[in-house]
Amino acid sequence: MAATKSNGQPQLLFVDGSFEELAREMADYLKAEEAKQLLTKEDAPKEEVLSKLVAASQALNTVAEKEYTAASNLMIHLVLQSADPKKYLPTLCSTFSKPLANSPVHGQSLSLNALTTVFNLLEQEDPIRARVFREILKFLKAHSMFDNLRPYLDKLPEWMESWGCDEEIERKLYEEVAEAALEGGDEDICYEFILKALRTFDADEKDEITSEDAQRLSLRAIRMAILSNSHFLFQDIRAIPSVQALSDSHPIFSQLLNIFAEQDLEDYNDFNEEHEGWVEKQKLDHEKMHRKMRLLTFASLAAATPSREIEYSKIVKALQIPAEDIEMWAIDVIRAGLVEGKLSQQRNMFLVHKVTYRVFGQKQYQELSTRVDHWRTTLQNVLGVLRQEQSNAKSQKEREIQDLERKMNNAGMGGGPRRQQQQQRERTDNDD
């Protein structure tokens, strides 16, 4: 689905001939009698001919597999000769969206190729491309072919800018990509594009961020965020104005989001007691959320421990689990990417190497300040020990030098008088 920009009239390779010649060939192939009758007249109106050909284009879905690509390319080429192709493209795209009946194996791929050919032959700045792209999205969703779209997702913002899409069209496109991703089994991309759709609402317009569409998408995003098995940080969704507006219209959902963003398991349990039956009524998965809150609580416990050593008893209390399950939850929180560390069975400690902060506000700055103070004290103690050891080493070296000098003096290497007197007596005794 590479974006291309043609110069002048768009052309297909191997399509050659005048409009009348090609239209007559197409009319014969489709058995479009009304178009054939028009073409018998001299100077037959091009737009009327195209109208008849497009109306008969449904016959393309019944042609032989080996002829489909050539026939669909010719039909696309003819439509693009119109002064106003957008009149015919919706019908043509609808025809291409129906897989070839005579090709159960390759029919979907052939249809997708026809749709992408339309997309690629339009000028890059042509707004009609947005409508064709939406048809492609619908086709990919209907046939679980989302993988074909993945390589082009990063180009979508650039394309929409070149098409001059307004916020409403952008929102629809983002939401349709999210639907196709969800159908393709990729919840992470679905969630990402739901957030993109939410950001198209004007934050300065209260009517927009509190509209029915904004609230619908915001609630959907919250559900996806708290139930996701891979999404553990919530600052991105909490920063979106339409989500913030739920604090007035849907305060319980807003409260639940805040619990997952920065509170602990005990707060979640209190929430369930306060709103008994609400989770079940909203068809939320309590077991999944309860497990997720335990993982998030483990991360908060690790982040709030300046010594980076968590006693088993604290883990048991915070996660409300039996002691024998500590290892299992430690493995799970490491797999989730929230904490890095290891268990010390001998010391009954979990040793934290690295932790992901769920939020970073005043409380976290205070915790970081406390940890920095702890590190400063530790480093000062280490520095004191190093300086003491340095002083001890210097004193030891001085003592060793003094001992060496004494030994050298005692050995006569320093000119001592006692040794000289002894040597003189030995010479006198030898003379006698």
Between 258-267, 300-309, 318-327, 352-361, the lowest mean confidence (pLDDT) is in: 352-361
* Degrees, nearest 5: CA angle 236-238-244: 145
pLDDT of residue 374: 73
pLDDT value of residue 413? 54
Question: What's the confidence (pLDDT) of residue 281?
Answer: 96
Tell me the per-residue pLDDT of 398-408, one tens digit each, with 9 for 90 and over.
Answer: 888 888 888 88
pLDDT for the residue numbered 236: 92
CA dihedral 152, 154, 160, 162 (to 10 degrees): -90
User: What pLDDT is recorded for position 412?
Assistant: 63
pLDDT confidence bin for 363, thresholds 50/70/90: low
Q: What phi, psi does 125 have (nearest 5°)? A: -90, 0
Torsions phi, psi of 344, nearest 5?
-115, 100
Q: Alpha-carbon torsion 251, 252, 254, 255, what sign?
A: positive
pLDDT score recorded for residue 247: 95
Q: What is the pTM of this model?
A: 0.76
Between residues 91 and 15, which one has the greater pLDDT? Answer: 91
Ranking 6-15, 244-253, 284-293 by mean pLDDT, the lowest is 6-15
| pLDDT, tens only, 151-209 | 999 999 999 999 999 999 999 999 999 999 999 999 999 999 999 999 999 999 999 99
DSSP structure string for 184-219:
TT-HHHHHHHHHHHHTTS-TT-HHHHTSHHHHHHHH
DSSP character string of 247-281: HHH-HHHHHHHHHHHH--HHHHHHHHHHTTTHHHH
Tens-digit pLDDT profile for residues 41-77: 888 899 999 999 999 999 999 999 999 999 999 999 9
Q: With contact defined as beta carbons under 8 Å apart, do 118 and 75 qualify? A: no
Could you report the per-residue pLDDT of 288-332, keeping only the tens digit for each? 999 999 999 999 999 988 888 999 999 999 999 999 999 999 999
Q: Which residues contact 224 (CB under 8 A, 6 or more apart)?
A: 187, 190, 191, 194, 231
- Dist. CA 110–CA 86, nearest whole Å: 22
Average pLDDT, the chain: 88
Q: What percent of the chain has pLDDT over 70?
A: 89
pLDDT band at 3 (very low <50, low <70, confident <90, very high): very low
Task: Name, in order, each residue with C-beta under 8 angstroms of 424's C-beta and a sequence gap of 6 or more.
Answer: none
Identify the three-state secondary structure at position 310.
Answer: strand
∠ CA 288-328-299, rounded to 5°? 65
**pLDDT reading at 13 higher than 50:** no
